[in-house]
Amino acid sequence: MKAFVFPGQGAQFVGMGKNLYDTLPEAKAMFDKANDILGFSITDIMFGGTDEELKQTKVTQPAIFLHSVILAKSLGAEFAPDMVAGHSLGEFSALVAAGALSFEDGLKLVSKRALAMQKACEAAPSTMAAIIGLDDKTVEEVCQSIPEVVVAANYNCPGQLVISGSIEGIDKACAILTEKGAKRALKLNVGGAFHSPLMESARVELQAAIEAAPFKAPICPVYQNVDAKPYTDPEKIKANLIAQLTAPVRWTQTVQNMIADGADTFIEVGPGSVLCGLVKKVSKEVATEAKN
C-alpha cells in the first residue's frame, strides 16, 4: 500500500517549484493564482529570492504548501494514495492533495496560519531545540521538571525529539538533557515555539477560519499529527487541525500506525527528502521515494 507524505517548515530551498512553473501550464496557472490570492509575488521569492526572504514564516509555509500541492497535482494518475499524512504544515498539503479542501481554501488557511504564528512568535520570543540520542520518556520528564514553558513538540523518529518553549526554558532543558547523555541538544533557527502552549493566540485566530472553511471527505484516510490516527470525517479533521498548533506532532507514531495498517511504500511529495529519512529511521523494511 502506498502512503504519500508531505513535508513541513524547514524543507524550503530557493528555486523550489521553478521547473514545474516553467514546464507545466497547469502548474504555472496555479502559481499565478497563488500570487493573486496572497497579494504578493511568492513565486519571485521561491524562484529567485534570498534564503532570508524565504525563511520568513509568512513566506515559508505557503511556499512549501504550493510546491507540495502543485507537485502532487502534476503527478496525475501516479498520485494514487491509500493513505496520506503531512508533518505539521504538511498536513494542509496532504488534505488538499487528498481532496478534503480546495487549493484556494487550503492556501488561504496556510497563509492565515503562517501570519498568526509569526505574530505569536513576535509577541513572546521563544524557540525550539532538537534532542538527539535520548528516549522520549527521558526528554518528556526533563521538560516537565522545568518551571518555564518547555514541551515535547515533534516526535520525529526514535531518538530524535524536538522540544519547544521559552528561550530560558529551552536553554535549561538543553543543559540538563546534555548531562543526561543526549548526543546533541541543538537550538533550531526557527521563529518561535511551534506546537507549544505559546501558540495559543495563533490557534484561536486560526480556529474561526478553519471552522468556516468548506471541508469534505478525503479520497483516503488522513493520518493527523495530534494523535497519529486516520480520519475521513470532515468535522473531526477540522478539530484535529485546530488542535495541531498547540499540540505535538506525533510523526514517529504516525509512520508506525501507517505501517501497521499496511503501508509498505512511502512517497514524499514536496521540497527535500527529510521525511524519507525519518521514515527509514522508524522502519528499514519499507520503501521510500522522494518526488521533488
88 is catalytic: yes
Which residues have CB under 8 Å from 211's CB, separation 6+?
238, 242
Among 88, 93, 164, 166, the one annotated catalytic? 88
C-beta of residue 8 within 8 angstroms of C-beta of residue 89? yes
Helices 103-123 and 25-38 meet at what angle, rounded to 10?
40
C-beta of residue 29 within 8 angstroms of C-beta of residue 91? no
Handedness of CA 72, 67, 236, 253 (dihedral sign): positive
Among 87, 126, 195, 196, the one annotated catalytic? 195
CA-closest candidate to residue 199, choices 57, 1, 64? 57
DSSP state of 201: H
283 is catalytic: no
- Which sequence positions are flagged as catalytic? 88, 195
